[in-house]
Structure 1
């Protein structure tokens, strides 16, 4: 599964279908699951990368909501979880919230309240998802650069001018300018600063760009 989605996990068919209908009518893509096990089977290959929100029933046969939350956390997932329960025991709510749940609402939940809670999650998740997509795109571009181009880009991201890069690397200014022209073509940018700004506006700060470059290594 890819993209942002609201996952509704509830063993009560009427509640599950009602929630999916409510969410879809409000413009949220949603999918229902009758058990934690069926949800885990569906997302087994992408648990750490799930984006959107999980609306999760606390009490279910088999794996309950808290057990499913633990599975997601152990897999490295960061998708927000909003619990629904018809019981509302305080200890369970505290366990869920301490493990990272964003909210704990009692059934029957007011639809307007649920949508307000979901909206805050959705906005944050949209920004995170877009930044992750941009990072994947940037990584693909960086992988296409030669080692020397990555090296020069690393210096340029620090604001070091061409003449200074030439001195550092022991190359001619003309050679540095030629490498920089080729890397700009691959970045599809008028300048390194222009590309840097675009990345920052998309949620990918310069520090992260430097980390991505470092992860690829630099050939000298």
Structure 2
């Protein structure tokens, strides 16, 4: 089963994302801060990671995960509220694989991740 982590300071975003992704057959963990997410990654590196751009130290978290052993294999999605080119480029430079727009919903998460849960 593919491991997924949602790193977002919003309880609601994490709960909604976890419910949807669990239904898509991912094993989902949550982190409310960059420090918690990094600690969780040290224990078990996820296959997929959503990092909220509004979370303190979000870019540092992405760079730190990339620097970990096996970190280059993690698909990291930088989650932004609007398609701000400067913010997107900062995420890409830090090591984000791709981007998600917030708020996301079942349709978006299913479209992006629906066929990946059983792919590995």
Which bracket does the TM-score occupy, shorter chain normalised?
0.7 to 0.9
Counterpart CA distance in 2 for 1:94 and 1:118 is 23
SS of 1:19 mapped into structure 2: helix
Q: Deviations over 1:14-58 (max 9, x none)?
A: 111111011112222111111111111223255xxx242001111
Separation in structure 2 between the aligned mates of residue 93 and residue 122 of structure 1, nearest angstrom:
25
Match of 2:39 among 35, 38, 41: 41
| Structure 2: tracts of 5 or more residues without a match | none
- The answer on whether the counterparts of 1:93 and 1:104 sit within 8 Å (CA) in structure 2 is yes
- Which protein has the bigger helix share? 1
Q: Is the 8 A contact 1:80 1:100 kept in 2?
A: no
TM-score (norm 2): 0.81
Question: Is 1:111–2:111 an aligned residue pair?
Answer: no
Give the paired residue count: 118
Greater C-alpha radius of gyration: 1
Which is richer in strand? 2
- Structure with bigger RCO (C-alpha 8 Å, 6+ apart): 2
- CA deviation digits over 1:96-147, x for unaligned, max 9? 23454232121112422222222465566x2xxxxxxxxxxxxxxxxxxxxx
Tell me the distance in 1 between the aligned counterparts of 2:47 and 2:23: 17
Residue 44 of structure 1: SS of its match in structure 2?
helix
Aligned residues: CA RMSD: 2.3
The TM-score with structure 1 as length reference comes to 0.47
